[in-house]
Each structure stands twice: as structure tokens, then as C-alpha cells.
Amino acid sequence: MKKFLALINKVIPGLVSIMALVLLVFIPLYPKLPSLEIPGSYVRVRLEDFVVAITFLIALPLVWQKRKTLFKNKIGQGIIVYWLVGLAATISTLLIGRLIWPHLALLHYFRRIEYMSLFFLGFLAIRNKKDFKIFLTALLVVICLIFFYALGQKFYSLPAISTMNEEFSKGTMIELDVWTRVSATFAGHYDLAIFMTIVVPLILSAFFFIKKRGKKLVLLALFVACYYLLILTASRVSFVAYLVSVSFLFIILNKKWWLPPVIALSLLGSFFSEDINQRFSATIKVEGPKIVQRASNTIQSFLPEKTDKKIVQISPTPTPTIIEGGEEEEESASSGPIIAKITPGPTIMPTIPEPSQQEMAEIGVTRSGDIRFGVEWPRAIRHFEKNPILGTGYSSITLATDNGYLRALGETGSLGLLALLSIFLTQIPLYQSLLKNPKADYQAKFLAAALASGTLAVLISMLFIDALESSKVAFTYWLILGLVVGRVNLEKKTNS
């Protein structure tokens, strides 16, 4: 037994760090090629799922050995509570509600465990400060490769593999046309945009705590590249999330003098993107009147109904007028029925002009808004009303809700939403303890600020996107969260 424990202490930690590094590189770069199909769903098991499974088989002895350290962490406790609530929601639905297929409910439940479990893997992977530098360098290289592949898609017809619909999810390679936005190696442009909002705060934080001028220039160039990719995706909510998260980062790092030029240049750069400008203007034009109408209807619903009696005037039906057309018509009328002779004229084919980019943007915005406000969000609320405490179970409201909070509310009820939010709320004391501590390590402070800003961007994106349902985004976010918390934990050990 002692020899086995000695082997664990020597070999397994290093192997876990290597496998975590492999996942950090492999998951964002490997395209969404399917490996196995799931009956009744176009969710596929992919190669990344097998790599994650192998990694955890390797890490199990270390997880058991470090279980006290892992489960003392407040974020880890929040994740476990969320898993337990999800299990209760799944059992409740399978035994009582019976609204879903059992294998799909279990699939979606275990996928959430798979995503979030990378937090624990990242936490264990950081053994010293040198480990974190390796992970950060690898992540920056990955971002560079994603940027170059996205440029290849945009300008050199490199293929994209999307999961935006059932046919594409089979691994169909597509070339982008003039209407399609870049997605690089991700499942869609929304996923790529969210990934950019997560890594940009890390790049900016590294820019501030790294001293060498050459490395600063590389990080600055990488920031510009990420911003350009974000503009190419033309994701409105992610662009707003980027502006808010970067502003938040500068404020908490006390770099407020960076705020005006960076935000001003970001807004100025967006003006040169016809696509994102058209989508924002279409949003104002299409959704603006609808929002005003909804607000007006809501206000009127609280006002007392008017009881004024209206006088209904009934106008007489007009009598048809017979128009006489000459002597021949009079004679034919007296002799028998009139037979009209119509000489057909030339057929004129209407010319339908091709829609402009602005019109296409308005069509897209209208469709997007109608699906969210008219179908997906009301459906999630209806499922919440069926079981306000535990919801109707995973997969019960289909694959898309385009709102992470409503999705949690519909599938796992109020308990599930509170458990999910607790994972993010438990991060706040961690950030506060570092940012307010004058003796804390300079690098750890900047990393905590970057993580807080990236998390804020994810929370904003969840208002209109199922941000943490995308495998690449979810895997990457929970892994980075674990890596940063593991690096911060080193700082706590040093101070204690």
C-alpha cells in the first residue's frame, strides 16, 4: 500500500498535469467531428469525450488522495450541490413527470458533470507557479492557431464543421458564404465569440503583470487579433459582454486611465464592420418597437379598464350599380345572357430584387427575436410552472433555449437555478480576498481579476445564449477556472 501511495505521489500528479495540458490544447482546436450517435438526439459523442474520460481514469487516485482539499473549496462545493440538485430533478422527472426519454435525461445530466468536472482537474494540475506559466503559454498558442484558422475560413475557404442544425452536426464540412460568420474550430460563431470574451481578460491581465517589452508586444498583438475575431463573429451580446468585462477589468485593477482609449478604439473599430453595424441597427429598428409595445401592454394591464360606451353606427349595404355599355349590350341583355370576351394580354413576370445585406440582417434579427421571445423562453417558463422546485428535467425543453438562466429554471427549477448561481457567487470572496490584500502576489491578483471579468462576460452572454451548453466553451471555462483557482490556492499556501 505504501509503495502504491508513493507511486501516486510521484507519477500521477505529473501525468494529470500533462493530460490537463492536452485537454486545454485539444478541446478548442479539434473540430466538432462526431464519433458516436445518440438515438433520439443530434447530440454526438466526440473524441474529446473519450480524452476526458481517460484523463479522469488516470486522475481518480489523485482525486481520492486530495479529496479534502478539493471539497473544502467553496466553488467545488457549489458544483457538487448543483450535481445533487440535477440528480434530484432527473429522478423526479423519470419517476413522476415522465416527460422525457430516460437515456436523453441521463445523457444531458452526465454531460454537465463531465463539463464541470474539469474544474477539479484544473485545480489538481497546478503544482507550482511554473506549471501555470506553461498552461498560460499553451493557451496563448491555441488562441493564435484559432485566429489563423478563422482567417483561413474567411479568406481562403477553409472548411467549418458546425452543429447549428441536425445535418451539420453529422460532421458535414461547409464553406462559408457571404452571409455566414466565421466559427474557426468551434460549433458556431456564438461559441467562438464567447471563447474570445473569456480569454481577452486573461491576455490583458498578462499584459499588465509581464514586464518584458517583447512579450508585451506579442500580447498586445494577440489582444487585437481576438478583438478582430470577435468583430468577425458579429455577435451582439458577446460584443456587449466584451465591453462590460474589459471595463470591469480596468476598474478593479485600478487601470482606469486605460478605459477610455480601449473602449473608444473598440467602438471605433466596430464601425468599420458592416456586419455588426447592420445587426445592431437592425436590432434597434426591429426589436425597438416590439419592446415599446410590450412595455405599453404591461403598463396597460395594470390600469383599470375603460367603461365608456361606444355608439356603433351601422352603415347600409351599398346597392350594386349596373353600368350600361351601349346599344349592342342592351340588345344582348334583352336577348340572353352576356358573354364577355377577354383578350389575354402579355404576361408580365415580376422582377424580385435580391435582398441587401441590411435587409438580410433585419430578417435574421426578426427571426432570432421571434424564436427567443415567442417560442423558446415561453416554453422554458411553462416547464418551470409545471414543477417550480425541480423543473421538468434535463433535455425536456429541447437543445436550445438561448438563455442559460431560463434553461436552468425550466429543467431544474428554482433549486437548480439557485445552485447554479451559487457556483458564481462563491467566487466573489475569492476575488475580494486577493484584490483587497496588499500582501497578495501581484500575478495572482491580476489572474483573479481576469477570471472575474471572464466570468462576468459568460454571465452576460447567458442572457441570450446557452453559453455553458456548448462543449468547447464549457470545457474551456471550467478548466481555466480550475487552473486559476489552483494557482491562487498556491498563493494561500505560501501566505499560511
d(CA 228, CA 150): 10
Backbone phi and psi for residue 44, each to the nearest 5 degrees, phi listed first: -115, 150
Task: Give the pLDDT score at 128.
Answer: 87
CA distance 293 to 435: 44
Pick the closest to residue 226 from 191, 251, 198 (CA basis): 198
Contacts with 255 (C-beta within 8 Å, 6 or more apart), sequence order: 208, 249
If we measure between CA atoms, which residue out of 404, 476, 422 comes closest to residue 197? 476
**What end-to-end distance do the CA atoms of the chain give, in Å?**
31
Given this model, what pLDDT does residue 110 score? 92
C-alpha cell recorded at residue 34: 462526431
State the Rg of the chain over Cα: 29
What are the domain boundaries of the chain? Answer: 2-284+369-495
Three-state DSSP at 184 gives: coil
Tens-digit pLDDT string for the chain (496 aa): 677 667 667 788 899 999 999 999 999 999 888 878 777 676 788 899 999 999 999 999 888 888 888 888 899 999 999 999 999 999 988 887 666 778 888 888 999 999 999 999 999 999 888 999 999 999 999 999 999 999 999 888 888 888 766 666 777 788 877 667 889 899 888 899 999 999 999 999 999 988 889 999 999 999 999 999 999 998 889 999 999 999 999 999 989 899 999 999 999 888 877 777 666 666 676 666 665 565 566 456 555 655 544 445 555 555 555 544 444 444 444 445 444 455 555 555 555 565 565 555 556 666 677 788 888 889 999 989 988 999 988 888 876 788 999 999 999 999 999 999 999 999 998 888 888 877 778 888 899 999 999 999 999 999 998 889 888 999 999 999 999 999 888 876 666 5
Q: Which residues are paired to 36 by β-bridges?
A: 45
Q: Which of 459, 479, 492, 440 is nearest to 28 (CA)?
A: 479
